[in-house]
Structure 1
Amino acid sequence: MIYYNKNRERCGFMRICEFDTTKDFIYHWCGKFISPNEEWVHLTRNLLDYELFVVTDGTLYVADDAHKYEVFPGQYLLMPPTFFQHGYKSGSCSFYWMHFGYNREQNDHTVLKSQLLAPEELTYRENRMLLPIQGELKSLERITILMKQLQDSDRRYREATLNRFLCGTILAEIAVQSPLYQAYGNKKSQEQIYSDIVDYIHWHISENLRVAELAEYFGYNEKYLTTFFKSLAGIPIKQYILQEKMERAKAVLTETNQPISQIAYSLGFSDAHNFTNAFKKITELSPSEYRSGFTKRNLVHK
């Protein structure tokens, strides 16, 4: 399915192709083209499948039934099936190309739809790959290496399953290099990072954890990590660490007879005084009062 996304910053429309990744990509063929001279023009034909162009040199001038494209070195173009693929200007260029199908329904010209999408509609959805029709590649080399691997695989093995996987890998690599991935498609990865941070805190709860240490471990700027964590947890990361330490302290206070000073040290506090102040800040009770109150509640209950 093709969408048009209004991108105000660029004052235009971004054509986006959406793929359901539970459906198989069907690899057809691929290669590398080098134009013979400056007079070369792309042929005119009915394009029955999807064609990916990855330009390495010169400028490719190609069009479909509705749009003209200029594709420069380091850019790609993903052209959906069209009744009228054609060159509209001559020029010398080199590019890798790959033809592939998707599923029968998506390859049917009559069901390809175009519409304006509000930004909130481009949020993360499971099993969905969003690919702008055209874009810059952050790493042209990664794509060309994958294209060469696919060429080699097709020539050596002609194994449909392997070729299908490599085809999907190329498209996925382009997708994650796209700004769309950063803007809309990485919610799942953000949640995984958040989960990893929480796990790290739980495993190191007995230490004097600092935000700077977490930022360094996960490779983020300290300010960014604080903002990122709060956006998902609803509270600052310092407060979360303190709350988790106090939850651990409550359990130890009620289940053991450990001295307050020992509990303090086991949770990364330098002394019992700092621990007591932190505990009171969260519970409005001192550790001793909390332990005493819990014991009394148990006695009354019994």
Structure 2
Amino acid sequence: MRFFSFTLEKPVLYYMGGEFRVSESWKHRKLYHKGDYELIFCIKGPMYMQIGSEQFVLKPHQVLIVPPFTHYYGYKKNSSGADFYWLHFFAQEKVSLFEANEDEVVSKLKTNKSGMRVVTLPMIFDLPDYEDTMVTIHKILAAKKKITYMEKRDFLTSALLIELFDSYVNQHSLNEETAKIDSIKEWIRAHMSSKLNVAEVASNINLNRDYLTRIFKQNTEMTVLQYINKQRIDVASTLLVRTEMSVKEIAYSSYFTNPKMFMRRFKSETGLSPSEYRDLYSNIHLNNTHVDPFIPVPSRIADSINESVDSNIAEIISDSEKSTKKSK
């Protein structure tokens, strides 16, 4: 398995990035990296990618790292389209590239006590805990064009690599208990409502409430209630930047019982009011307004937004083809 080790004594340098979505038959056009790395996070796939002489099938919730000085392209069309984030960056320090057994590499990473700021990632890997990564990507792409915005993006891109490293190493530390926690998370996401509480979760997954609370806290550093509220905030954040719904409408659509509670909780979690959050981060979605299918947005809202996107998809594709630096 191929790995990259990035030294982060200095931050990497953000170059460009974006989000691309197409609902019709599509494959990645031919490109060449001159000296930059590219990180591709697949939302909807699969994507059939050839990098040099190697072929990869990039599936949803997977990350692919494309090295510099490499020809790459889609070797096969995906008839159902694709949706992915893409970020280009330059490394300020030497990057080690090596082939190794994954289990051996992960074992060394877990016991590394050198103190060096090194992030090691495989060329392609799963990203099961994607929520925080999505937030970081949004912040990178939505950074305002101020005098210092490039520096801010440099540090955010470095933070993104660290988050990916943590997620990669942690997923190889799974045991029976953490696997159980993952299934609990999925149940919560699938059954979100304004009335969902700890007692209901415990009852439906056949666990004692106190036991559920204890193991969930041990494995996630959050209580079950905090996790439920985080999911509600994720839904609200998505609707704020990808729709023109009022704050009141978003409050109810993100499973809060009243708008005042929603605004208070949102400000507490993000440090911004809903309106401030919309103003700060909505510009990333001006050319791409679909709802992330992995965030539990109410289906009636997701469907209405996606219908609007589908009707404008030809214009989106046309715009993306006009800019060689802003599309794939």
TM-score, normalisation: structure 1: 0.50
* Higher Rg of the two aligned structures: 1
Structure with more contact order per residue of length (Cα contacts < 8 Å, sep ≥ 6): 2
TM-score, normalisation: structure 2: 0.46
